[in-house]
Amino acid sequence: MHVISASRRTDIPAFHAEWFMHRIRRRFVRVLSPFGGGVFDVSLAPEDVAAIVFWTKNAAPLLPHLEELRNLGHCFTFLYTINNYPAFVEPTVPQWGHTKEIVEQLSRGSSPAVFRWRYDTIVLSESLNWKWHKRNFRALCRSLAPFATECIFSFCDYYRKTVRNMERGVPGYWRPSEAQCSDMAEEMADVAKQWGISVSSCAHDFLVSEKVSKARCIDPAVLSQIVNSPERLAAVKALKKAPTRKDCGCAASRDVGAYDTCLYGCLYCYANADPESARRNAALVTKDSDCLDPRAARLDCAGRPRGRP
């Protein structure tokens, strides 16, 4: 049994919910490795899937399908990113009022482990200074306290594409030092504690302290709370650590997403080269596509161009 990650590479609940449910009914999905490893099949059959981890900023399109997922026997949890940034940073992310309503619906009658909050990533600029973040974070803690017991956070990692987008759209952005990040993380922990929320640092171990724990986004301890059979429980407890980058604490999962297919256009995002590529690729995905990456249609299961021996 494996864990499905849906997905670090794109927002499947927000933009590809119908596609994902079609693959669930077909009981498999094809995935194109983003690192040149070819195309491979991943089973979505309930007997092969211990749990599904959804990564999203808007679960609304998937909500009507959750009952079907449960009836098919699937167990799932959501890593829900809620930053409440202004539109110049997150151009098409739903406004906070809509997000709060969806979180309330998602959490109603569910295990607390079904909803996990991410404040990710933390971008600092002239207008989005630490005073702004403290005020914003405090307000989110107050509103999410009935639903969240943990907040996973990270500071922006400045990849080349990220720098290009930030220079284009976030005037006066700046990179904090490790010491500044540590001070901010400690303050976040103090704020969150007032509302009964712990904080965890994602992929930045230098921030781990008595107040800040190490985040495990794919976390066997959390998944153990949502599974519904002894077989699934044994499977998640047996998961091996499988970091996706330096300081990552995640256990093993099978990611079924594809880069350059998310339509938010967030300026800090590492998963899109540019908004136009994402729009172009997403438009090529239909509910009958067996892979979210349109390039996979040109390759066989060995990763070779179709038509070649």
Give phi and psi for 120, each to the nearest 5: -155, 125
As a whole number, mean pLDDT of residues 288-296 equals 92
With respect to residue 50, please indicate whether it lies within any of the assigned structural domains: yes
User: Residue 36 pLDDT > 80, yes or no?
Assistant: no
Where residue 120 falls among pLDDT bands split at 50, 70, 90? very high
Cβ pair 218, 251 in contact under 8 A? yes
Strand ranges, E, within 94-209: 115-122, 150-155, 198-201
Cβ pair 220, 51 in contact under 8 A? no
Adjacent-strand bridge partners of 299? 305
Average pLDDT of the chain to the nearest whole number: 94
Where residue 300 falls among pLDDT bands split at 50, 70, 90? low
With respect to residue 61, please indicate whether it lies within any of the assigned structural domains: yes
With respect to residue 309, please indicate whether it lies within any of the assigned structural domains: no
Q: What is the pLDDT of residue 251?
A: 98
With respect to residue 305, please indicate whether it lies within any of the assigned structural domains: no
As a whole number, mean pLDDT of residues 191-204 equals 98
With respect to residue 251, please indicate whether it lies within any of the assigned structural domains: yes
What is the C-alpha to C-alpha distance for residues 140 and 111, in angstroms, rounded to an integer? 21
The H or E element that residue 161 is part of is: helix 160-169
pTM, to two decimals: 0.95
As a whole number, mean pLDDT of residues 100-120 equals 95
Instruction: Report which residue type is found at 76.
Output: F
Percent of the chain predicted with pLDDT > 70: 96
Q: What is the pLDDT of residue 309?
A: 25
With respect to residue 304, please indicate whether it lies within any of the assigned structural domains: no
Which domain covers residue 205, as residue numbers? 2-298
Side-chain half-sphere of 210: how many Cα atoms within 13 Å? 1
The domain that contains 100 carries what CATH number?
A: 3.80.30.30
User: Residue 305 pLDDT > 60, yes or no?
Assistant: no
With respect to residue 6, please indicate whether it lies within any of the assigned structural domains: yes
User: Residue 70 pLDDT > 90, yes or no?
Assistant: yes
Adjacent-strand bridge partners of 163? none
Give phi and psi for 54, each to the nearest 5: -95, 130
Number of domains in the chain: 1
Instruction: Write out pLDDT tens, residues 231-253.
Output: 999 999 999 999 999 999 999 99
Name the DSSP letter for residue 8.
Answer: S
With respect to residue 60, please indicate whether it lies within any of the assigned structural domains: yes
What is the C-alpha to C-alpha distance for residues 71 and 110, in angstroms, rounded to an integer? 15
